[in-house]
Structure formats: structure tokens, C-alpha cells
Chains A and B, each alone.
Chain A
Amino acid sequence: MEFYLQLVISGLVLGSIYALVALGFAIIFKSTSVVNFAQGELMMFGAYFCFSMVVQYKVPWIWAFLITILFSIALALVVERLILRPMIGEPVISIIMVTIGLSSVLRSIVTAIWGTQIQVYDPPLFPEATVNLVGIPTSQVYLWSFGLSAVLLFLFAVFFKYSKAGVAMRATAFSNQVALSMGIPVKNIFALAWCIASVVSAIGGILIGSINGINVQLGHFGLKVFPAVILGGLDSIPGAAIGGLIVGVLENLSDGVLKTTLGLSGIKEVAPYVFLVIILMIKPYGLFGKKEIERI
């Protein structure tokens, strides 16, 4: 029983990070209808940049964190302006491919600067001592990651609901043309969407990096976010959060259960995709997704 509880807890933590990255993905998709295959690389870039600050330049954590956020905003602005803006209005496949190309470029920059070895944050972001959570020893990194993700998700929910920029973003997501005619600067909204996505991904990258260490495999984490967003519904922001949590828990549970009962290893890597196919067959628009109705 304790074994399963542990699996659920680490699944929830993993899921909360999925949720963060999925939030970034959903924001970009919702307002700019770009499917961003480079989400994982944005994560990786943030994680490595923060590593540089903390370990190589010995910047205190709080400052390193803030500088990383500023850096990811700058990165997003450059990417949006140089690569995504010329692609506005192009077919879906071109846009998917351009983000794949972008991921390749970002990955090559990361390996050129930081190499391919696993790096760890030293000093660690959170204290290492474990705490007892309902009788189960849990490392503090987990609790902090979960807490931080939850706070960020809550803040963004409030932002979209009440702030002027958030409302403008939702209007843009509803229809670019209507938003433009209401005086919303749609191009700036696109840039803002990329900035938010880049920042939440970088934070996700730092969190997952402080749990598992940072390496180039983080890029694949970005792809594993797809099951989460599909489950939640591609264009739904609360959906991304709930989808992330569910996928994280399911992934961990199926891994643990299949390993102990059938001796299958490495299910973790593939389980989210199996859910993905099942979800697509049963409920293709996800839990909260808007069903597309087309008219001629």
C-alpha cells in the first residue's frame, strides 16, 4: 500500500510539472494556433541557463531564478519575432515543422554550450532532508515542486480570468480578426503567449532538473506533454492542468504495477503515449476541449 501511495505522490509531482509545461503549450496553441514541438527544448534551455547561473557563476538562487525568467522572456521574443511571425497564416504542417526545426536548433545550441553530460544543481534549490507526509517519507523537492506548480497554475488562472491582458489573450484565442477589430494588438498578444509559455517551461525545466538532473533528454519531456494536453483538451487551460496531473499519476502507477507484476521495464517512457492513443479513440477532444463544428 505504501508503495502505491509513494507512486501516486511522485506521480502527482511529475504531473504538476507536466501541467506547467502543458499550460505553456496550451497558451501558445490557444492564442496563436501554433503546435509547439519545441516546448521541451524551451524547458531545457531554461534549466541549463539556470544551471550556468547557479553552478558556474555562483549567483544566489533567488537571483538566478529571476535572471532565468528574464532570459526566457528574451528567448521567446527572439524566437517569436524571427521564426514564428513570418509563418503566420501558413498551413499547420509547415508550422509544426518549423517548431521541429527550432527544437533542433535550440538543442544544438545547448549541447554546444553545455555538453551532453547530466548536470546537477549545486547547491540544490530546495533542502534535501525528507519530511513525513501521512507517514510516508517524501523529499522536500517534491513538495516544493508541487506547491510551486500549483501556485503558478492558480496565478495564471486568475490572470486569464481577471487581468486586461488575460482577457485580451482569450479574445485573441477566440478569433484573431474580431480581436484585431476591437483594437487588441494581436501581434503583441502572440509575443506575450510565447513569453508566458517560455517562462513556465523554464520553471518546469528547473523543477524537473532539480529532481532528476538536467540533460539533453529533457527535450523528450516536452513531447510527453502531448498526452496531457490531449487528455485535457488541446485548447483548454484548466484541462492542461488536470490532464497533466492524471497523466503523471497514471504513468507512475502503470510503471510500478507492470514492473512488479509482469517484470516489464521502461513502461514509464511509453505509457503516456498508450494513454494518448486510447484517449484519441474514446474522447478525441479531451475532457474540456472545444469540439470543432465545421460549416461550409
Chain B
Amino acid sequence: MSVAHCGDFRQTYRDDMTVLRTRFIRIAVGAFVVLLYLSPLITSNYVTSTMTTIAIAVIGALGINVVTGFTGQISLGQGAFMGVGAFACSYFMRVVHMPFWLAMPMAGLTAAAVGMIFGLPSARLKGLYLAIATLAAQFILQYVFMHLDAVTGGSNGIPSPPPEFGTFAFDGDRSKYYLTITVAIAAVIFTTNLLRSRSGRAFIAVRDHHLSAEIMGVNLFKYRLLSFAVSAFYAGIAGSLWGMYTGYISAEHFTIAESINYLAMIIIGGLGSVLGSIFGAIFMTLLPQVLTVGTGALADIFPKIGFLIMSFKDGVFGIIVILFLIFEPDGLAHRWRMIKTYWKLFPFSY
């Protein structure tokens, strides 16, 4: 079956649970993954390095989408949880002398544990109050990063040693890219499958109507806390990879701005959609780069506005978020579905 149906013809549970439905989609996705792995061979180091940051952002965005998009708990602490992961990973590698492949999941678990502490108020609260609790988490953790000198190096930051596998060290742009993209693909597959499991369905039930979910036997507290933990775990992994990518971790990276950036990613990409997390991560990573080029060109034409560039970037970010929310509240993933539907039926749209 290589043609898409123009209706819903799924007849078995197996059919219903299939992720990649037609042969065309399977081939397309396979080709895309192959292309991802081949791209460093044909593109420049700059592109490879940008794609690494996108892959890291995809992992972080998937994490915040689990807690915010699927479970409906607003998290404003993703940036700080990433920081926890980054510092923990560096600590495990430098002080405990763990290898990277062990330190990274441990960093994820550390971030998950910290995330659960701040998720505890979700026992009694929801929505807005949790948003504020995670905001507090963000500021408290930021303070800890700046003052827990032994682990985080305080305001100076701390180096993050490159991961080694046997005698091979991941220290070039390409090897870092391969490591990151592999973890990112694993994260995408894991999230997609998580959502088809009991826990994933419970998350969505909690989001859609928490009282009904509770009556159906979903333990609200357990699943809210679990979604916080999963989200922070992803953030921890993303943070470790970020540390590996930059080689040096400084508390200045993990601010409230970073958390807001992640929230913006999933809103622009599409809440509650794996594809949306990917689109959002790509969009929000490329936006500052495009703006830098754009403002650079503007500064050449009007040299006097050079000092405005920084504020201009901030403002454009805000305007884009506002316009998206007003005119495209379901995000890029929704637009993507519309385009797909349009082409599926192309000349005969009825």
C-alpha cells in the first residue's frame, strides 16, 4: 500500500498503532535519516555545527513538549534543568571519572530528580501555579549554579571534557554531530512510542480533563510527576550534549531566556506534537542566525543603527511569538498537516 487513503480505513488495532503508515512515508523517513547522517560529508562545518545545536534543541523541546504539550503542565524551568544536566555530566566525568555514555544518562536522572522536587507542588496544583513553581525553580537553580563553586565553577563556569569511546575522542564538529543526531533520533523514537503507551495516554488524559482522567483510574499526581521527571530527563540529556558541544559550561547560558526559548519552540512548532517539537527547534535555532545576518546587512546600509541590533533581535523574537499565537495558534505542525492534506487530494479537493 503505497498510496495514502483519503479517509480513515484502519480496521485493526495494529493498523491504528502504526506510526509510519504507507510505504512512501517509510521510504521518505528512511531517506531523511540517511540524509541526516550523510550531510556532514557534503556540507560545511558551519552547517554541521548549526545542525548539532538544532539536534540538541530538538531533545530539549521534546522534553518540554512531554510536560507542557502532552500533560498540560506549563514548565518555565527547562533551561535550568538543562543546566543541571550539563553540570552533572561534567561533574560525573571529571570527578567520578565515569565514561560519557554512563555520565549522560546519570546527568539525565539527576535532572529528573531535581525536576521532580519542583514538580511536587503538582500534587495539589495545576496550570498556572505550576508555571510559577517552575519559574521559581529556574531562579533558584540559577542561584545554585552561580554559588555552588565546587560543582559548577561559580561565575567562571567549568570545562566539560570531550567524550571518549575507547581511544576515539568526540572532539571534532563531525563526530559531535554524529553523537548528537543519534541521541536526538533515539529521543524522537522514544517519545513517539511513549505516547502510544499507557503512560502517554495517561498524560493526554490528564491534559484533556484531569477530573475525568482521575475517575477513569489515572493517578493524577503520579503521572504529573512522571511527566515532570521525563521532561527534566530530556533536558538533562540535552544539557550534557550542550556541554559536550561547547566544551565549556557557564551558568550564563541556562537563564530564564533559555527556558522561554524552549517554551516558544513548542508553541511555534505545535503543542502536543513530536513533529512540532522538531519544527519549533529548527525555527527557533535558525531565527537568531537569520536575524544576525539580516541586522548585519541593515547595519551596512544604515551604520547609525548598530546599537539597536541587540534590542531589535529581542523585539523581533517577541513579535514573532505574538503573531504566531494570534494567527497560527496550533503551530507549524498544524500548518504542515494542512499542506499535506491539500496535496493528498490535490486537484480534487473534495
Contact = CB atoms under 8 A, between A and B. Distances in A.
A104 B310 CA distance: 12
Given A223-B135, A230-B129, A96 B121 contact: no
B321 A269 contact: no
A91 to B, nearest CB: 8
A35 interface: yes
Interface in A246-270: 264, 266, 269-270
A281 interface: yes
Interface residues of B, number: 49
Give the dominant DSSP class at A's interface: helix
B129 A93 contact: no
A290 B215 CA distance: 24
Contacts of B25: none
B135 A104 contact: no
A276 to B, nearest CB: 4
Interface string B301-314: 00000011011111
B308 to A, nearest CB: 5
Interface string A221-265: 001001100100010000000000000000000000000000010
A93 B314 contact: no
Contacts of B313: 108
B304 to A, nearest CB: 12
Contact of A98 (B121, B136, B325): B325
Interface string B253-275: 00010001001100100010000
Given A92-B127, A112-B312, A276 B68 contact: no
Contacts of A109: 311, 315
Interface stretch (A82-90, A145-153, A189-197): A82-90
Contacts of B345: none
Nearest to B142: A270
Given A94-B267, A273-B136, A266 B326 contact: no
A103 B133 contact: no
Given A94-B329, A274-B136, A284-B125, 19 more contacts: A93-B72, A93-B74, A98-B326, A100-B260, A100-B263, A101-B319, A104-B315, A105-B314, A105-B322, A107-B318, A108-B311, A227-B136, A230-B132, A234-B129, A266-B143, A269-B143, A277-B121, A277-B137, A281-B120
Interface of B: 68, 72, 74, 118, 120-121, 124-125, 127-129, 131-133, 135-137, 139-140, 142-143, 146-147, 211-212, 215, 256, 260, 263-264, 267, 271, 307-308, 310-315, 317-322, 325-326, 329
23 contacts: A83-B322, A83-B326, A92-B127, A93-B131, A94-B329, A96-B128, A97-B264, A100-B318, A101-B264, A101-B325, A104-B321, A106-B318, A108-B311, A112-B311, A223-B256, A226-B135, A234-B128, A270-B143, A273-B135, A273-B140, A276-B132, A277-B136, A284-B124
